[in-house]
């Protein structure tokens, strides 16, 4: 009988100090070992969910700042790298060096049938190819994937063919995924891409979901939730989405110390098959906002990253509507305000932009006020239809949460211990831009909204025009008119666009070098030509923070 084989991975997830974690899926139960020539390494037996076998191996004994090749062994036999291929490496950051953060969102994994890709070269693929060609000279310390890692509601032709072997696609939910097993197929399609597989094997990653990881406009409103829960296929869809997210994305976001104390992780590992345990957990997460904490913190040197769940933690009742449940906002405040002076840069990762084009922001605030009954029942019914049709469900559509985040950022940015920068990193809207709020002078930190999307997708021409218009003088005037009609209070902060909009498949890179240095670079994959030879080109580069030490 042949030995165990890798089905998916390896994915290098966490890396800091002398430790790292590596995630894999195998085709059967086995002992998974991560072995390094330096003597560093670790091992773990697989655990099972819905018949699939996984392991998340903690690697000990690493040297900060050193790139250490590793191999994956299953029951003692080498399973990765394949013969003749270069070994992946794990590099833990050096606290004395600058921190390089690459981020983006919205990666539709489908491959073109031929040389031509209808949505252009994949920026994540292109990054991987470029790092390979350049000898990883500028390898990121961490890759932030800010939502829509998989598209449960926009499947490829290959996935639709696979789905058709399981069930009748003429029956709902049709060519969309229906359950846990079908979600696993999405991850195979995305993470078995050779370039992405090499990249994720050697670059640590932080992930958070957005709507398409489950369904477009997930948790838009109370009315939306009532409508979707009436569909007979929805329950298995959302539970499968949350279960598969926990397995494939969430666990790897946690540090080894957090994994040691995670009771659900311990229970799943001890179970014969942890599917029912995960199912019960997913039910609680879906039914009780804040019951599960998907948000998390990761510190790299003197950079603090707070990845925020802006989907499952929503409170949707109109009279207390919030993007983040009270417990989630309290967690965010605690993490941002703890240890003043212990970090130089605060990155808040939210799949949804906090600062939108002013006209769009005003439209969402106006819509929220009408939905809450500010102009009567007839307007409320009309506004709910508009909200669902136009995807009005960003931070601006939750005015209380928008204001709370604005106030928290100002609080962080005041005082002698204020960090050099507070940067909100987002995706979702299929274009990139830089926006800066206009805080009073006592807010000392550099504050900016950095939005970068998509890595591999497209935006219709009318939406491009709409986003451009949203920043224009005429757009602002329309926004003011909507604010008057909705009787909106004055915004807690004003802002302006300082870069963009840029359209295309793209990623952003932050180079954070202590209290006197923060540099931003936007790179785009070419719009035409052979995707296999695409290169990233610099579309914008700027200093966000510069000083005597820069």
pLDDT band at 550 (very low <50, low <70, confident <90, very high): very low
Which pLDDT score is estimated for 462? 85
Average pLDDT over residues 113-141: 84
Same domain, 173 and 27: no
Average pLDDT over residues 285-303: 94
17 domain residue, yes or no: yes
Domain check: are 479 and 491 in the same one? yes
Residue at a domain's end among 53, 79, 97: 97
My answer on whether 527 and 433 are in the same domain is yes
CATH number at residue 43: 2.60.40.380
Query: What average pLDDT does range 399-421 have in this prediction?
Result: 96
User: Does 78 lie in the same domain as 15?
Assistant: yes
Please tell me the predicted confidence (pLDDT) of residue 526. 80
326 and 447 together in one domain = yes
Asked which of 88-97, 298-307, 390-399, 416-425 is least confident by mean pLDDT, the reply is 88-97
Examine the domain organization and report whether 342 and 401 are in the same domain. yes
In a domain, 425, yes or no: yes
Pair 237, 159 in one domain = yes
pLDDT score recorded for residue 134: 77
Distance of alpha carbon 67 from alpha carbon 180, whole angstroms: 36
User: 76 and 33 in contact (C-beta within 8 Å)?
Assistant: yes
Confidence check: pLDDT of 264 > 50: yes
Kindly indicate the confidence band of residue 547, based on its pLDDT and cuts at 50, 70 and 90: confident
* Residue 549 domain flag: no
Q: Write the CB contacts of 403 (distance below 8 Å, at least 6 apart in sequence).
A: 492
Q: Are residues 24 and 93 in the same domain?
A: yes
In-domain check, residue 78: yes
The per-residue pLDDT for 525 is 93
The DSSP code for 111 is P
Average pLDDT, the chain: 94
Q: What is the DSSP letter of 247?
A: I
Please tell me the total count of domains within the chain.
2
pLDDT tens digits, 84-120: 889 999 999 888 889 999 999 999 998 766 667 888 8
Same domain, yes or no: 80 and 124 = no
As a dihedral over the C-alpha atoms of residue 149, residue 150, residue 153, residue 157, rounded to 10 degrees, the angle is 140
Quick one: 200 and 213 in the same domain?
yes
- How buried is residue 341: exposed, middle or buried, by Cβ count under 10 Å (0-12/13-18/19+)? exposed
Is the model's pLDDT at 549 over the cut of 60? no
Domain span at residue 53?
Answer: 1-97
Q: Which of 222, 221, 215 is nearest to 239 (CA)?
A: 215
CATH number of the structural domain spanning residue 509: 3.60.21.70
pLDDT band for position 528 (cuts 50, 70, 90): very low
Residue 355 CA to its chain's centroid (Å): 17
Mean pLDDT of the region 531-545: 86
**How far is Cα of residue 465 from the mean position of the Cα atoms in its chain?**
26
Q: Give the model's pLDDT for residue 313.
A: 94
Is residue 516 assigned to a domain?
yes
426 and 343 in one domain? yes
pTM comes to 0.96
In a domain, 138, yes or no: yes
Runs of H (alpha helix) within 122-179: 123-133, 157-164
Question: Is it the case that residue 527 has pLDDT exceeding 80?
Answer: no
pLDDT of residue 339: 86
Q: Give the N- to C-terminal CA distance of the chain in Å, as an integer.
A: 60
Mean pLDDT of the 143-172 span: 96
pLDDT for position 535: 84
Looking at 68, 97, 126, which one is the last position of a domain? 97
Q: Is the pLDDT of residue 20 over 90?
A: yes
Task: For residue 49, give the nearest of 230, 221, 251, 208 by alpha carbon.
Answer: 251
Q: Is position 550 within any domain?
A: no
- The pLDDT value given to residue 442: 95
Domain match, 75 and 116 both: no
pLDDT tens per residue, range 351-377? 999 999 999 999 999 999 999 999 999
**Is 16 within a domain?**
yes
- Is residue 276 within 8 A of residue 38, CB to CB? The reply is no
SS3 (DSSP) at 534: coil
User: What is the 3-state secondary structure of 51-72?
Assistant: CEEEEEEEEECCCECCEEECEE
* Domain final residue pick, 73, 97, 121: 97
**Please, are residues 387 and 504 in contact by the beta-carbon 8 Å criterion?**
no
């Amino acid at each position: 009988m042949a030995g165990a084989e890798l089905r998916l991975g390896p994915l290098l997830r966490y890396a800091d100090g002398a430790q790292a974690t590596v995630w894999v899926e195998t085709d059967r139960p086995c002992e998974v070992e991560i072995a390094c020539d330096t003597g560093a390494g670790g091992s773990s037996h697989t655990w099972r969910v819905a018949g699939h076998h996984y392991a998340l191996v903690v690697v000990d004994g690493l040297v900060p700042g050193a790139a250490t090749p590793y191999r994956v062994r299953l029951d003692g036999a080498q399973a990765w790298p394949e013969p003749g291929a270069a070994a992946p490496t794990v590099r833990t950051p050096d606290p004395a060096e600058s921190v390089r953060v690459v981020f983006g969102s919205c990666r539709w994994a489908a491959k073109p049938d031929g040389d031509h890709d209808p949505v252009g070269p994949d920026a994540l693929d292109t990054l991987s190819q470029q790092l390979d060609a350049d000898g990883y000279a500028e390898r990121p310390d961490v890759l932030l994937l800010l939502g829509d890692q998989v598209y449960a509601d926009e499947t490829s032709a290959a996935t639709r063919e696979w789905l058709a072997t399981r069930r009748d696609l003429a029956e709902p939910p049709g060519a969309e995924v229906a359950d846990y097993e079908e979600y696993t197929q999405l991850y195979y399609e995305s993470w078995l891409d050779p370039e992405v597989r090499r990249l994720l094997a050697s670059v640590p990653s932080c992930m958070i979901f957005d709507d398409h990881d489950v369904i477009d406009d997930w948790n838009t409103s109370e009315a939306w939730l009532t409508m979707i829960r009436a569909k007979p296929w929805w329950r298995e869809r959302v539970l499968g989405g949350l279960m598969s997210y926990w397995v494939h994305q969430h666990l790897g976001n946690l540090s080894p110390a957090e994994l040691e104390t995670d009771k659900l992780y311990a229970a799943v590992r001890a179970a014969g098959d942890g599917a029912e345990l995960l199912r019960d957990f997913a039910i609680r997460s879906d039914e009780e906002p804040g019951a599960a904490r998907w948000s998390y913190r990761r510190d790299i040197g003197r950079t603090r990253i707070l990845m925020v769940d802006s989907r499952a933690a929503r409170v949707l009742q109109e009279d207390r509507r919030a993007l983040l449940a009270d417990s989630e906002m309290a967690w965010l405040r605690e993490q941002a305000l703890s240890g003043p002076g212990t970090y130089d840069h605060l990155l808040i990762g939210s799949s949804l932009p906090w600062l939108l084009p002013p006209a769009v922001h005003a439209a969402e605030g106006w819509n929220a006020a009408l939905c809450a009954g500010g102009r009567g029942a007839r307007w409320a019914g009309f506004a709910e239809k508009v909200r669902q049709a136009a995807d009005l469900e960003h931070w601006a559509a939750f005015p209380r949460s928008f204001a709370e985040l604005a106030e928290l950022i100002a609080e962080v940015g005041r005082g002698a211990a204020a960090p050099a920068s507070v940067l909100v990193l987002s995706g979702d809207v299929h274009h990139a831009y830089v926006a800066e709020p206009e805080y009073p002078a006592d807010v000392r930190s550099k504050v900016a909204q950095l939005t970068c999307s998509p890595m591999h997708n497209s935006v219709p021409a009318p939406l491009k025009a709409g986003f451009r218009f949203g920043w224009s003088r005429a757009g602002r005037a329309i926004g003011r008119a909507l604010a008057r009609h909705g009787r909106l209070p004055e915004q807690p902060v004003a802002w302006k666009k300082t870069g963009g909009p840029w359209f295309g498949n793209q990623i952003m890179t932050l180079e954070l070098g202590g209290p006197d240095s923060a540099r931003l670079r936007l790179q785009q994959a070419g719009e035409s030509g052979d995707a296999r030879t695409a290169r990233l080109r610099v579309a914008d580069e700027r200093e966000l923070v510069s000083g005597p030490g820069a």
